Amino acid sequence: MIKMINAAKINSRTGITGIFGWPVEHSLSPLMHNAAISRAGLNYVYLPFQVKPDMLGHAVDSIRALNLRGVNITVPHKENVMRYLDDVSVEAEEIGAVNTVVNDGGILRGHNTDWKGFAMSLREHINPRGKSVFMLGCGGAAKAVFYALSKSGVKEITLSDTDGKKAEKLKKSVGTGHVKTVPVRESGSALESADIFINATPVGMNEKDGSPIEKKILRKGLFVYDVVYNRPTVLSRYAASAGAEYVNGLDMLVYQGAESFELWFGKKPDLKLIKKTVREGLK
């Protein structure tokens, strides 16, 4: 078993990090980060904070007021939090979203580690350079994924969303060529020429969800990356029956968390430990 935080070790010098979200009960980040903090021998705790959208500004002010070392930002705050920060990284500015805030002596700096987490997890399974990618879903999670793809040397990216305006907006967000959009009804034809399919929709997160795409359009040789990680999905079963390689977003969670950890503490966490921790947490 993973040894978790011991409340008896909390003292007057214990520092605080955490996560702002609404809701936040489902997050595995407290489990992951507290395990990493304990292993590194740091006098910190990582706490979940339920932050209603209309209280986000006050919550950000509390980072300074309470001298938190920093926080992760999750839905629905990744875009709106930027207005309350003193500075944001180039990557976060280009992506248009922040998932990590660092408190440097009262100066709050925003970063985006999601794109690095995706890029690292994808490269563990496939080299995207020269590949054609079809991504379904152009909401919050897709922004970081698209940014990472634009830096990866892919040959072509095709975007699709039930809201066509979102797809067009995402297409224009990063200055890269070889990007096009198609209506959702044309997903089948888009997948015919794709090497990689990315599900960036939330379809699959809930037990009663179906698949974001039809089973018949999956095929052997297609690489399927699903950002959903909290449960076995219908898409994962479809991919297996079609002979397509399937990977979920669990390692993306781990790697983005590791990048946040390093921003706060200046050291790398034990990756093997946090991978084991989140997998046990899902059980």
Using DSSP, state whether 73 is helix, strand or coil: strand
What confidence score (pLDDT) does residue 132 get? 97
Supply 119's token pair.
């890029």
Query: Distance between CA 219 and CA 283 in Å, rounded?
Result: 30
At residue 1, the pLDDT reads: 43
Q: Given this model, what pLDDT does residue 253 score?
A: 95
Task: Please report the pLDDT score of residue 65 as a whole number.
Answer: 97
Cα–Cα dist 82/112, whole Å: 11
Q: Where are the alpha helices (DSSP H) in 178-270?
A: 187-192, 234-242, 250-265
3-state DSSP assignment of residue 114: helix
Pairing of strands 44-50, 196-199: unpaired
| pTM flag (> 0.75) | yes
What does the DSSP assignment read for 124-152? TT---TT-EEEEE--SHHHHHHHHHHHTT
Query: What contacts 24+ positions apart, CB below 8 Å, involve 102-105?
Result: 102/69, 102/70, 102/263, 102/264, 103/63, 103/64, 103/67, 103/68, 103/69, 103/70
Q: What is the pLDDT along the chain (283 residues), one digit of tens a residue?
A: 444 555 558 899 999 999 999 999 989 999 999 999 999 999 999 999 999 999 999 999 999 999 999 999 998 999 999 999 999 999 999 999 999 999 999 999 999 999 999 999 999 999 999 999 999 999 878 999 999 999 999 999 999 999 999 999 999 887 666 899 999 999 999 999 999 999 999 888 888 899 999 999 999 999 999 999 988 999 999 999 999 999 999 999 999 999 999 999 999 999 999 999 999 998 8
- Which residues carry out catalysis? 78
Give the pLDDT confidence score for residue 5 in this predicted structure. 55
For each of the domains in the chain, give its residue range(s) and CATH number, in order of start.
7-112+252-282 (3.40.50.10860), 116-248 (3.40.50.720)
